[in-house]
Amino acid sequence: MGVRLCVLVSGSGTILEALIEQHVHVALVGADRPCRGLDVAARAGVETLLLDRADYGGFSADFDRARYSKDLATALRERGVDLVAMAGFGTVVTAAFHDAFPGRVLNTHPSLLPDFKGWHAVAQALASGVDETGCTVHVATVELDDGPILAQRRVAVRADDSEASLHERIKGVERVLYPMVVTRVMAALDEGRSVASVAREMENV
């Protein structure tokens, strides 16, 4: 049957679109709020799952992150998911989720990690005055924007860049790199190889 991939989204689903356009077989798309990403999945004929944060305290201080993370992991396991790719997923999940998919949660981040972790990586890159930044595909862990790096691509920072213009160029690179890495991870798992082996492959791409 092959590796069953779940892509987690929260917004416009442009990275999900790139995965689908590059013929990555997506078995399930999950979201933490109603969003365009679910519509992208539905149009592509991909099963969807909405586990709405609103039912767990929303975006208030009362948000039950632990229960949400556990329920999300359970829902994905019940649907036979083997690999998770976060694609603009806006909820930080707890160790319970990562424990359910050990070493099998992927993420793409708009910086050259370990530089500029967090939600404002592009703005931080501009404020720091660096002449290049980029994107990183890595194995996600309970620590935000941490974990083994699978691939990175560099993006030059231009003198006239705004946060929006720089972020858009980074997204353009992500839309190529992320599908490539996810495809290779799925192939590695199908062949009984480790996710870490993909990092070695990507060094020569």
Clarify whether residues 53 and 72 are in a common domain: yes
Q: What is the pLDDT of residues 131-159, one digit of tens each?
A: 999 999 999 999 999 999 999 999 999 99
Clarify whether residues 3 and 23 are in a common domain: yes
Domain count of the chain? 2
3-class DSSP state of 154: strand
Clarify whether residues 190 and 120 are in a common domain: yes
Clarify whether residues 93 and 112 are in a common domain: no
Clarify whether residues 132 and 95 are in a common domain: no
Q: State CA 57 to chain mean position distance.
A: 23
Task: Give the model's pLDDT for residue 1.
Answer: 62
Clarify whether residues 174 and 117 are in a common domain: yes
- Catalytic hit among 25, 98, 109, 120: 109
Task: Give the model's pLDDT for residue 202.
Answer: 86
Clarify whether residues 73 and 117 are in a common domain: no
| Helices 14-21 + 36-43 axis angle, to 10 | 20
Q: Is 98 a catalytic residue?
A: no
> What letter does residue 25 receive in the DSSP assignment?
-
List of E strands, the chain: 5-9, 28-31, 47-50, 83-86, 105-109, 132-139, 149-156
Mean pLDDT of the chain: 96
48 class by beta-carbon count within 10 Å (0-12 exposed, 13-18 middle, 19+ buried)? middle
Clarify whether residues 83 and 7 are in a common domain: yes
Mean pLDDT by 10 residues, the chain (205 residues): 93 96 97 98 98 97 98 98 96 97 97 96 97 98 94 97 97 97 97 92 79
Look at residues 43, 67, 102 and tell me which one is the last residue of a structural domain: 102
The CATH number of whichever domain residue 148 belongs to comes to 3.40.50.170
Look at residues 76, 102, 128 and tell me which one is the last residue of a structural domain: 102
Clarify whether residues 98 and 1 are in a common domain: yes
Phi-psi region of 95 (alpha: psi -120 to 50; beta: other; left: phi over 0): alpha
Clarify whether residues 1 and 98 are in a common domain: yes
> What letter does residue 118 receive in the DSSP assignment?
S
Clarify whether residues 116 and 95 are in a common domain: no
Dihedral of CA 18/23/25/27: which sign? positive
Task: Give the model's pLDDT for residue 15.
Answer: 96
Residue 144: give the domain boundaries. Answer: 108-205
Clarify whether residues 120 and 204 are in a common domain: yes
Look at residues 73, 102, 131 and tell me which one is the last residue of a structural domain: 102
132 Cβ contact list (under 8 Å, min separation 6): 112, 154, 155, 156, 157
110 Cβ contact list (under 8 Å, min separation 6): 121, 122, 133, 134, 135, 167, 170, 171, 174
